[in-house]
Amino acid sequence: MPGQLQTYIRITANNMSTPGSNQNPTQHKITLFLASASPRRLALLTQINVTAQQLIVTAPEGEDEPRHPNESVIEYVKRTTDDKMSRAQAYLNSLEHCAIITADTTVALGQVILAKPKDRQDAIRMLSLLSSKTHDVYTAVDLYFKGQTTRALSHSQVSFETMTIEQIEQYVDTDEPFGKAGAYAIQGMAAQHVQRLEGSYSGVMGLPLHETAQLLRSAGLMR
């Protein structure tokens, strides 16, 4: 908790050390788990000098969880992130001396969720819907540490230019849309069609760094 960790602590997958002081021999090592199969989220954590061990736990429903009746987009992304945390905690043999980060990203046009495309035609359908429109991207983040889970939510808006069917098909044929919410990767070739972004670029990628760093600092895990 913040009152117990007053100095900067760098979490790595193998050690916990406090710069400028000798490590207490009785102090346990902390492992930070990123419960996500996404290489983008892992790279984003590395960008802010946080090293994590990737933990891949398959959801029983498959890649995208079903939406509950009358569930709003925000409620959905918060719940799916909490569900990922519950699965990660159940998967680990022990929750002692570890911290866990989970995140989920949802792309929505109004209250219509655009999940990961099932096939080529589904990707074309989604990108055709997003063409010339502004859509919402929500990424929820959970941090578990010392028996408590803290949460954050990032909301961004992305505006696409009008894309021709030829441009959409050309992009889909690169295979980049697959495995991505909304059928696009803002850090990839889709960036050429983005007219405007309001919010968090890293949040649209899958892990909002500002909100994630705030969670780590509030837990006493970053300076």
68-101 confidence digits (pLDDT tens): 999 999 999 999 999 999 999 999 988 888 999 9
Domain presence at residue 22: yes
Residue/partner pairs of 90-98 with CB below 8 Å, 24 or more apart: 91/55, 91/57, 92/33, 92/55, 95/144, 95/147, 96/28, 97/28, 97/29, 97/30, 97/31, 98/30, 98/31, 98/32, 98/33
Domain presence at residue 120: yes
Active-site residue flag, 104: yes
Alpha-carbon span 122 to 53, nearest angstrom: 33
Q: What is the pTM of this model?
A: 0.85
Domain presence at residue 194: yes
Which of 167 and 22 is assigned the larger pLDDT?
Answer: 167
Domain presence at residue 118: yes
Residue 2 has pLDDT above 80, yes or no: no
Q: Is 122 helix (H, G, I), strand (E, B) or coil?
A: helix
Q: What is each CA distance from 80 to 77, 114, 143, in whole angstroms?
A: 5, 15, 14
What's the pLDDT at 94? 87
Domain of 76 in residue numbering reads as: 10-218
Check which CATH number belongs to the domain holding 189 and give it. Answer: 3.90.950.10
What's the pLDDT at 65? 81
Domain presence at residue 5: no
Domain presence at residue 1: no
> Which position among 104, 119, 136, 142 bears the catalytic label?
104
Q: Is 148 helix (H, G, I), strand (E, B) or coil?
A: strand
Domain presence at residue 75: yes
What's the pLDDT at 22? 45
Amino acid at 218: S
Domain presence at residue 223: no
What's the pLDDT at 61? 64
Number of domains in the chain: 1
Q: Which residue has the tokens 């699965």?
A: 87
Averaged pLDDT for residues 22-46: 81
